[in-house]
Amino acid sequence: MESSDRGEDGSPKYHQANPEAMDEEAKQREREFRKQLNRSARETASHSIHNGVKLIVHRPESDSVHQMEYEKLSRSLMPIVREIARKTLPLLEHEVSSDYAKHQYYGTKFQADSMAYRDFRTFAKKRPPSDSPSLVVGLRVDESASMAAFGRLEAAKRAVIAVYEFCQMCDIPVLIYGDTADVSRLEQMSLFAYADFDKVDPTDRYRLMGIRARSNNRDGMALRLMADRLAAAAHKTKLLISISDGQPKAMEDYTGGYAMTDMQQTIAEYERKGVTFLAAAIGQDKNVISQIYGNERYLDITNLQELPAKLVRIIARYL
């Protein structure tokens, strides 16, 4: 089958129309990986206020419908993502070989060109010979029921495609999870592992199309589970971006000030462990999300069409 994606020289790319079914050994590896994710997530949750919340980590599968949706949504995105990656890759090569680490809060060399970003990373400092730029990215997607409104779900899917493909092009490990709460009494918290840096799979890009608007949202638990994975990574910079359209709300009483305090404490705890948080607010509760995360971590996405490119450019800034 001819893909809508094009190669570097403009020639069409082709992929197999009917991929072979996963063999039994591969299925067993997938089951073991899913069990590992569940064990790890439950262990992390057991040391927080979410201890006792019935949690299941799912590893969604993809099918031909997901592939067609991916081709449709990615068609207009890929030229933008490629252009940003094209401008970023030479900078990566330069930074690895440079004697200076750029975009620092303090240092010995002032970078005037960084003033435009207003993020106070306006200095460069000497880098030890063994120190090289290193980034790992986590992208959390709120899959609450309200995401079905006003084109938010498609905007989220376009954003995760752009982030995933950019990270692939720049060789950045990426973790993309969705979450919802209160699916049933036996499943009070659900995580969906669409892409995981511990088990990279080319079909992950199609799994992303399994993102859905489902039920409630227990944001603090989702942030904790993903931040814990990033904190354990050996990378120098650990960036966790949350795409959400509303404030946290889950049964029995995970809402209001209680949920807000949990999220703020989680952010503070994992920032001390080196994780940087950003919140992309795409719904009606922007003021509440800004209050929870703080203005320095808050991204107001008024125009949903700008979300994919905006997230990719932000990630590029952290390289």
Tell me: pLDDT of 270 over 70. Answer: yes
DSSP H or E segment with residue 14: strand 12-14
What is the rounded distance in angstroms from the CA atom of residue 171 to the CA atom of residue 69? 24
Tell me: pLDDT of 188 over 50. Answer: yes
Q: For the residues 16-25, what does the mean pLDDT come to? A: 62
Q: What is the DSSP letter of 144?
A: B
Q: How confident is the model at residue 14 (pLDDT cuts 50, 70, 90)?
A: very low
Angle at 33 between CA 30 and CA 36, to 5 degrees: 155
- Block residue for tokens 């190669």: 7
Tell me: pLDDT of 34 over 70. Answer: yes
Tell me: pLDDT of 17 over 70. Answer: no
Comparison of pLDDT for 284 and 156, the residue scoring more: 156
Average pLDDT score over the chain: 85
What is the rounded distance in angstroms from the CA atom of residue 71 to the CA atom of residue 109? 45
Number of H helices, E strands in the chain: 9, 12
What is the rounded distance in angstroms from the CA atom of residue 56 to the CA atom of residue 192? 9
User: Cβ(282)–Cβ(307) under 8 Å?
Assistant: yes
The dihedral of CA 98, 103, 107, 112: what is its sign?
Answer: positive
The model scores a pTM over 0.85? no
pLDDT at residue number 120:
58
Longest Cα–Cα distance of the chain, Å, equals 57
Q: How confident is the model at residue 16 (pLDDT cuts 50, 70, 90)?
A: very low
Tell me: pLDDT of 128 over 60. Answer: no
Q: How confident is the model at residue 132 (pLDDT cuts 50, 70, 90)?
A: very low
Q: How confident is the model at residue 98 (pLDDT cuts 50, 70, 90)?
A: very low
Q: Which two tokens stand for residue 313?
A: 């450019």
Tell me: pLDDT of 271 over 90. Answer: yes
pLDDT at residue number 19:
47
Of the given ranges (13-22, 38-47, 54-63), which has the lowest mean pLDDT?
A: 13-22
What is the rounded distance in angstroms from the CA atom of residue 99 to the CA atom of residue 129? 8
pLDDT at residue number 95:
47
Tell me: pLDDT of 111 over 90. Answer: no
What is the rounded distance in angstroms from the CA atom of residue 71 to the CA atom of residue 69? 5
Tell me: pLDDT of 94 over 90. Answer: no
Q: How confident is the model at residue 106 (pLDDT cuts 50, 70, 90)?
A: low
